[in-house]
Amino acid sequence: MHILMYNWRAFSNDYLLNNLRELGGNVDVWSDPDILEPTERAIEKLKTKLKNNYDLVVSFNYFRGVATACEQTNIPYAAWTQDAPLWSLYDDTIRSKNNYFFCFDSEQYKHLKEKNIKNVFYLPLGVDVERLEKKTVNITADKRSKYVADISFVGSLYKDTAMFDDIVAKLSEYSKGYLYAICNMQLKVPEIRFSEIEISKEVMRELQRKVSFEGEGYIEVKLKKLFENIVDRKVTAIERNMMVEICRKYQNFKIYTNSSLDEALNKYNQGIVDYYTDMPLVFNQSKININLSARPIHYGIPLRVLDIIASNGFVLTNAQPDLFLYFEEGKSIATFQCIEELEDKIDYYMDHETERINIRNEGKAIVKSIFDYKTQIKTIFECVGI
């Protein structure tokens, strides 16, 4: 099977590539930044490459330039999403008969199905269990000492919320208060989504008058959908900073981030860790790993949750709806409903080590049987029919 894989620096690209090859694929890796905002020249270059008798083109996320070239050469294109929102899913090229969408988020899947897009499948992200197990078996004493922790968090604190702040600064006091109230409501009741709220017509009219969104290019997305993403990122920033304030109360808390922190918090920051080499060690050596899904991911299981579990780590995560299609609360996964519940859950699992280990082991067994890359890739092959 001859496969062309488009590489755009996505997390776990190497894992996907290795597993495609181990399943017998003759895989070529290709990268061209010009295909992201595709010119005719970039599409023609790809079409020339596709003349080398490829059976499939695959990528994480969806790229309209790749889809156009695949349609014009009649080669199937498997796009496995890992981001939300994914603005390219609002482009007309999604209707190509050569596209096969594998959506990691069930809401994203539903969005495409409602548009009557053919070849749409729900497929959670994968994880290379075997490789992560090998990385965490013989950890050196130095590495154990470096990464051992009661509580760890790896990820961005979403400090850059300038777009939300700039927009709000242009609005009336009423509209400012209205939007901040929506942010606070979502912190307390995460199930309430911005998209499900009937926004005041007065506020929407003011947004339309005073705010212009530039740089979206070919994508035509309703103002409310664009602003929903901006609000989601703001709520993520507020929530993650609340998480840091909660976790700093504990004796051995470590955070791994490239986000700036003030002087009082910077002592907890260990800097960034390499995704492939050291991040699994952080997960393995922490009693509790916190996951706070970015709010734009409304339903899907984040890659971070799978990485933690596959590294034989214990994860305490916000309650993403798709988790409960596979895991059982308190048996194979530990969740919190809102940020206000996080501290109680940390206290509980710090005091119940046996329960923590049992949940970790049950979750690991599920990830190994359902989410392993080879299992997920075989599903893609079956759906495409190759």
Write down the CATH number for the domain with range 2-123: 3.40.50
pLDDT band of residue 208 (cuts 50, 70, 90) is: confident
Q: What is the mean pLDDT of residues 228-253?
A: 92
Q: pTM score, two decimals? A: 0.93
- Give, to the nearest 10 degrees, the angle between helix 162-169 and helix 173-188: 140
pLDDT of residue 185: 87
pLDDT of residue 380: 98
215 pLDDT above the threshold of 70: no
Instruction: Quote the CA–CA distance of 113 and 192 in Å, as a whole number.
Output: 22
378 pLDDT above the threshold of 90: yes
pLDDT band of residue 219 (cuts 50, 70, 90) is: very low
pLDDT of residue 221: 61
Q: What is the mean pLDDT of residues 236-254?
A: 94
pLDDT of residue 5: 97
pLDDT band of residue 213 (cuts 50, 70, 90) is: low
108 pLDDT above the threshold of 90: yes
Instruction: Please give the CATH architecture assigned to the domain spanning 129-159+240-371.
Output: 3-Layer(aba) Sandwich (3.40)
| Burial of residue 161, with CB atoms counted within 10 A of its CB: 0-12 exposed, 13-18 middle, 19 or more buried | middle
Topology match between the domains 2-123 and 129-159+240-371: yes
Domain residue extents for the chain: 2-123, 129-159+240-371, 162-235
Q: What is the mean pLDDT of residues 115-130?
A: 96
Q: What is the mean pLDDT of residues 127-143?
A: 94
161 pLDDT above the threshold of 60: yes
pLDDT band of residue 214 (cuts 50, 70, 90) is: low
Candidate from 5-9, 21-25, 123-127, 354-358 with smallest mean pLDDT: 5-9
43 pLDDT above the threshold of 50: yes
Strand order in the sheet with 120-122: 26-30, 2-6, 56-60, 77-80, 99-103, 120-122
SS3 string, the chain, reads: CEEEEECCCCCCHHHHHHHHHHCCCEEEEECCHHHCCCCHHHHHHHHHHCCCCCCEEEEECCCHHHHHHHHHHCCCEEEECCCCCCHHHHCHHHHCCCEEEEECCHHHHHHHHHCCCCCEEECCCCECHHHHHHHCCCCCHHHHHHHCEEEEEECCCCCCCHHHHHHHHCCCHHHHHHHHHHHHHHHHCCCCCHHHCCCCHHHHHHHHHHCCCCCCCCCCCCHHHHHHHHHHHHHHHHHHHHHHHHHCCCCCEEEECCCCCCHHHHCCECCCCCCCCCHHHHHHHEEEEEECCCCCCCCCCCHHHHHHHHCCCCEEEECCHHHHHCCCECCCEEEECCHHHHHHHHHHHHHCHHHHHHHHHHHHHHHHHHHEHHHHHHHHHHHHCC
Q: State the chain's mean pLDDT as an integer.
A: 92
48 pLDDT above the threshold of 80: yes
Cross-strand partners of 77:
57, 99
Yes or no: say if 311 and 278 are a contact pair by the CB < 8 Å rule: no
Candidate from 197-201, 299-303, 306-310 with smallest mean pLDDT: 197-201
| Burial of residue 189, with CB atoms counted within 10 A of its CB: 0-12 exposed, 13-18 middle, 19 or more buried | exposed
Instruction: Quote the CA–CA distance of 188 and 183 in Å, as a whole number.
Output: 9
